[in-house]
Amino acid sequence: MKKTNLVLFPIGALGYGLIEILWRGYTHISMLLAGGICFVFFAKIGERFKKANLLTKAVIGSFFVTFIELIFGIIFNIILKKGVWDYSKMPFNFKGQICLLYSVFWGVLSLIFIPLSVSVKGRLQKE
């Protein structure tokens, strides 16, 4: 694993967990793993789509986080029955694991976290 990913991952893990604690009062260890993966990917979005505008990057970020939530939801909520979250009462949900509202929410947060991850990665590469 690259040195930059070893720094980006825990930042994302802690950030995602903190967002969940602030939003709903608790988190689950699986969400730390998801957050780490997402933050590393945010830096990759910034790197791969340098010429794209931030809104385009945020849409890509939203799709990626939503995909990660779906995978983690299938594993932790459906297969392992951990009950980490349940969006089944939310409009436009898929099997209670993802929903449109939270996809939009992650798109908005991507507007912040993609530039942040790129900035952190840039600083690390200068060291």
> Tens digits of per-residue pLDDT, 8-61?
999 999 999 999 999 999 999 999 999 999 999 999 999 999 999 999 999 999
Give the per-residue pLDDT at 3. 87
| 63 half-sphere exposure, CB direction, 13 A CA radius | 6
- Per-residue CA distances from 112 to 1, 74, 79, 106 (Å): 25, 27, 33, 10
Give the per-residue pLDDT at 88. 98
Q: In what helix (H) or strand (E) does residue 57 lie, and over which residues does it extend?
A: helix 54-72
**What is the distance of C-alpha 33 from the center of its chain?**
10
Separation CA 119–CA 7 (nearest Å): 12
Residue 1 has pLDDT above 80, yes or no: no
Spatial contact of 30 and 81, defined as CB atoms under 8 Å apart = no
Pairing of strands 98-99, 93-94: antiparallel
Q: What is the pTM assigned to this prediction?
A: 0.93
Give the per-residue pLDDT at 105. 97
The CA-based diameter of the chain, rounded to the nearest angstrom, is 48
Residue 104 has pLDDT above 90, yes or no: yes
Return the SS3 of 117.
Answer: helix
